[in-house]
Amino acid sequence: MNQANRKFLRLFFATDVHGSETCFRRFVKAAKFYESDVLVLGGDITGKAIIPLVEKKDGTYEVEFMGQRQHIEANQADNLEKRIRDSGYYPRRMTSNEQKALRDDPQKLDELFSEVMHKTLTEWVSYAETALADTNVVCFLTGGNDDHQEVLAFAETDHVRNPDNKVVNISDKHEMANLGWSNPTPWKTPRECSEEELEKRINDMVHQIRDMPNALFNFHIPPINSSLDTCPMLDDSVNPPKPVFRGGQQVLMGGGSSAVRHSVEHYQPLLVVSGHIHESRGLIKIGRTTCVNPGSEYGEGILRGVILNIGDGKLVSYQFTSG
């Protein structure tokens, strides 16, 4: 079907790429591959950590990556850096003295991490703008709880927008409310708050929506106890937190938000798209509202997503994707 003749909006949604360059590029290419009208990346965009490639006196590099320490020749460094970026980390070549200085000065390490995250996100925005230049597609990038607020202040372009903490129009009929903050987690991430504050953030924002039956909520955190939020229970009395086992079985729990659930039950928007819990891919209904979490396998370089064909007051059809 020709896009111009459609009677519905085709939205491609993915989330939790966590710095994986392969996943981000596949996300942008989904505009043409799936003939999407709108792209939405739902949060946790930036990577987890810097991986030093420490230069030795003989010109080789020493690297600790994926639990393995390895020595590589200089001509292997480019390929390894690509693997690191595709896995959601940031490679950085440095000397032994530079590595020691970063270890001895946590503030300097934090500043470097922010610099690398911002540089990478700027490059991603530039890539998306170029790739979408001959289309009418708008790509919405929202942060998640793992993303630092200051890093998300990237320059918007003709085709790339940051709608976080705002309500935006994604078509003539459909508005989208966007929130990347989360309820408290065991990981003490940069953008989390109490359920009470989360509920206030939601209410202050969604009151701007004019047509709730056609509205979308792009909330990084899924509704609690929705099956879209099932994850291992963690013991956060130790660092790092570890999974809880009882009777030899891993204990599972709902890691979603009660504030998000209350908002869905109260406002009943057309659609809620979420992420955060990578292993809980699925689609459910809460009242009239369809809620979806496409899941994430960013560490394997696999982009999980969902195509949503959205009509006037209804979800026409959907299809999960993986690749």
Rounded to two decimals, what is the model's pTM?
Answer: 0.95
The predicted pLDDT at position 1 comes to: 47
Token pair for 231 = 């994850």
How far, in Å, CA of 34 to CA of 17, rounded? 19
Q: How far is CA 250 from CA 110, 225, 232, 238, 257, in A?
A: 34, 17, 7, 17, 21
Spatial contact of 38 and 317, defined as CB atoms under 8 Å apart: no
Burial pattern 153-166, b for ≥16 Cβ within 10 A else e, equals ebeebebbbbbbbe
The pLDDT tens digits for 7-58 are 899 999 999 999 999 999 999 999 999 999 999 999 999 999 999 999 999 9
The predicted pLDDT at position 9 comes to: 98
Token pair for 88 = 């959601």
Quick one: CA dihedral 182, 39, 282, 312, positive or negative? positive
What is the DSSP track for 160-173? EE--TTSEEESSSS
Q: In sequence order, which residues have a C-beta less than 8 Å from that of residue 174 and are 6 or more positions away?
A: 9, 214, 215, 216, 270, 310
Spatial contact of 310 and 270, defined as CB atoms under 8 Å apart: yes
Q: How far is CA 271 from CA 13, 90, 212, 287, in A?
A: 12, 34, 10, 11
Those residues of the chain that have pLDDT short of 50 are 1
% of the chain beyond a pLDDT of 70? 99
Give the three-class secondary structure for 72.
strand
In what helix (H) or strand (E) does residue 114 lie, and over which residues does it extend? helix 106-131
CA atoms in the 13 A half-sphere facing the CB of 317: 3
Task: Enumerate the domain spans of the chain.
Answer: 8-47+110-322, 50-106
The pLDDT tens digits for 246-260 are 999 999 999 999 999
- Which CATH class name applies to 8-47+110-322? alpha beta
Residue 15: count of CB within 10 angstroms of its CB: 29
For 90, phi then psi, to 5°, come to: -115, 115
